[in-house]
Amino acid sequence: MNRETISQSISIVHPISLSHGKNAEVWDTTGKRYIDFVGGIGVLNLGHCHPGVVEAIQTQATKLTHYAFNAVPHTPYLELMDRLAAFIPVHYPVSGMLTNSGAEAAENALKIVRGATGRTAVIAFDGAFHGRTLATLNLNGKVAPYKQKVGVLPGPVYHLPYPSADNGVTCAEALKAMDRLFSVEIDVEDVACFFIEPVQGEGGFLALDIEFAQALRRFCDEKNILLIADEIQSGFGRTGQRFAFSRLGIEPDLILLGKSIAGGVPLGAVVGRKALLDNLPKGGLGGTYSGNPIACAAALATLDAMTDEHLKTWGSHQAEAIASRYETWRTQGLPYVGRLTGVGAMRGIELANADGTPAPKQLTQLLSLARDAGLLLMPSGKSRHIIRLLAPLTIEPAVLEEGLDILEACLKQLTQ
May I ask the CATH architecture of the domain 308-411? Alpha-Beta Complex (3.90)
May I ask the CATH architecture of the domain 53-305? 3-Layer(aba) Sandwich (3.40)
- All CATH 3.40.640.10 domain ranges of the chain, comma separated, are 53-305
Instruction: Output Rg (C-alpha) for the chain, integer angstroms.
Output: 21
Q: What is the pTM of this model?
A: 0.96
Backbone angles phi, psi at 173, to 5 degrees: -65, -40
Q: In this predicted model, what pLDDT tens digit does every residue of 126-144 receive, in sequence order? A: 999 999 999 999 999 988 8
In this prediction, residue 44 carries a pLDDT of 98
- 8-state DSSP, 157: E
What are the angstrom distances between the C-alpha of 77 and each of 59, 66, 80, 294? 15, 11, 5, 10
State the pairing for strand pair 226-230/386-389: unpaired
The full length of the chain comes to 416
3-state SS class at 415: coil
The number of angstroms, rounded, from the C-alpha of 301 to the middle of its chain's C-alpha atoms is: 20
- CB distance 250 to 278 below 8 Å: no
User: Rounded to whole angstroms, how far apart are CA atoms 227 and 222?
Assistant: 12
In this prediction, residue 152 carries a pLDDT of 84
Cis status of the peptide bond prior to 145, with omega within 30 of 0: yes
- CB distance 412 to 334 below 8 Å: yes
What are the angstrom distances between the C-alpha of 310 and each of 77, 127, 148, 304? 25, 31, 42, 10
- All CATH 3.90.1150.10 domain ranges of the chain, comma separated, are 308-411
Secondary structure of 74-122 in HEC code, one letter for each residue: CHHHHHHHHHHHHHCCCCCCEEEEEECCHHHHHHHHHHHHHHHHCCCEE
The number of angstroms, rounded, from the C-alpha of 266 to the middle of its chain's C-alpha atoms is: 14
Per-residue pLDDT of the chain (416 residues; tens, 9 = 90+): 567 899 999 999 999 999 999 999 999 999 999 999 999 999 999 999 999 999 999 999 999 999 999 999 999 999 999 999 999 999 999 999 999 999 999 999 999 999 999 999 999 999 999 999 999 999 999 888 888 888 888 889 999 999 999 999 999 999 999 999 999 999 999 999 999 999 999 999 999 999 999 999 999 999 999 999 999 999 999 999 999 999 999 999 999 999 999 999 999 999 999 999 999 999 999 999 999 999 999 999 999 999 999 999 999 999 999 999 999 999 999 999 999 999 999 999 999 999 999 999 999 999 999 999 999 999 999 999 999 999 999 999 999 999 999 999 999 999 98
Q: Give the Cβ contact number of residue 303 at 10 Å.
A: 18
- CB distance 237 to 380 below 8 Å: no
Q: What is the largest CA-CA distance in the chain?
A: 62
- CB distance 188 to 223 below 8 Å: yes
